[in-house]
Amino acid sequence: MELIVDHMQGWARLTLNRPAQKNALNTALLAALAEALATCASDPALRAVVLTGADGNFAAGADIAEIETKTAAEGAVDPRKAHWAAIRAFPKPLIAAVDGFALGGGFELALMADVMILGPTARVGLPETNLGLIPGAGGGQRLMALAGRARAMRMVLTGEVIDAETAIDWGIAAYLAEGPALDLAEPLAQRLAGRAPLALMAAKAALLAGEESALALGAEREAFEALLDTEDKAEGIRAFRERRKPEFQGK
């Protein structure tokens, strides 16, 4: 089972469960996550959701095997876009409990959460330019809104991965746990479950409306799709698989 759903008293825990792939987000897992969140949204007994990853990692990016042969035309009609939209449309508080790697699409998923909690092992980044691509689910825009232009440019252009303390210092995450992120995330979810649910949903909707109206999410996605057809993207993924430095030609 690629997604484990546990219902608690007033809240739910969703665990990304592809440990052999460090919980990389393939299309099936994204679809399962979108479906599970839709179910949680419709259940009045569930007032908050914690999202975490199995075996010490949150999600180490998208599934490279799916991206490797994907063309720009396929990217334009990719079902993943609808899954991402459904995840972002979840109306209740969403907490990301991040340990280990949260890279690429995994970090983009954590950035969609309302509260990000990092464990001391967390390592976050948007290294898509290493593959001749860019973030495709709005991660660059959301990172810039949180960390500022200079730091977002630094991370996206260089592919730099930062540690938990740096992410906290840069305003990317809300909490730094002393141990596993779930140690803070679960009590927080329980606390939120006891608060006024209509007020929390209204507050989330109002805050996101203000933030997302200023983000160029469509432009970022269009640029990602265009890059799928480039030779540099093919070379970047070959180099990743062969564990070598890519030789980009600007084609």
Q: What is the pLDDT of residues 79-109, one digit of tens each?
A: 888 999 999 999 999 999 999 999 999 999 9
Q: What percent of the chain has pLDDT over 70?
A: 99
Q: Is 12 an annotated catalytic residue?
A: no
Catalytic site residue from 108, 186, 220, 225: 108
Owning domain of residue 93? 3-179
The residue that leads in pLDDT, 236 or 116, is 116
pLDDT at 214: 66
179 is catalytic: no
> How many other C-beta atoms lie within 10 A of the C-beta of residue 192?
21
Give the number of domains in the chain. Answer: 1
Residue 206 lies in a domain: no
The arithmetic mean of pLDDT across residues 150-171, rounded, is 98
DSSP characters for 112-133? HSSEEEE-TT-EEE-GGGGGT-
CATH number for 13 = 3.90.226.10
Assign 228 a pLDDT band (cuts: 50, 70, 90). Answer: confident
Structure tokens at 158: 């260089």
In a domain, 7, yes or no: yes
Report the alpha-carbon distance of residue 236 to residue 133 in Å, rounded: 8
The single residue of 62, 96, 122, 193 carrying the catalytic annotation is 62
pLDDT attached to residue 57: 98
3-state SS assignment for residue 138: coil
Q: Look at residue 131 and tell me if it is in a domain.
A: yes
Which is catalytic among the residues 53, 96, 106, 128?
128
From the candidates 61, 100, 105, 125, give the one annotated as an active-site residue. Answer: 105
105 included as an active-site residue: yes
Over the stretch 35-52, which tens digit does the pLDDT of each residue have?
A: 999 999 999 999 999 999
User: Lowest mean pLDDT: which of 11-25, 101-115, 205-219?
Assistant: 205-219
* Predicted confidence band of residue 123 (pLDDT cuts 50, 70, 90): very high
Domain assignment present for 138:
yes
Which of 51-65, 72-86, 136-150 has the weakest average pLDDT?
72-86
Q: Is residue 60 part of a domain?
A: yes
Domain assignment present for 203: no
Phi-psi region of 168 (alpha: psi -120 to 50; beta: other; left: phi over 0): alpha
Predicted confidence at residue 236, as pLDDT, reads 80
CA distances (Å), origin 80, targets 33, 76, 158, 195, 204: 11, 10, 26, 33, 23
- Terminus-to-terminus CA distance in the chain, angstroms? 40
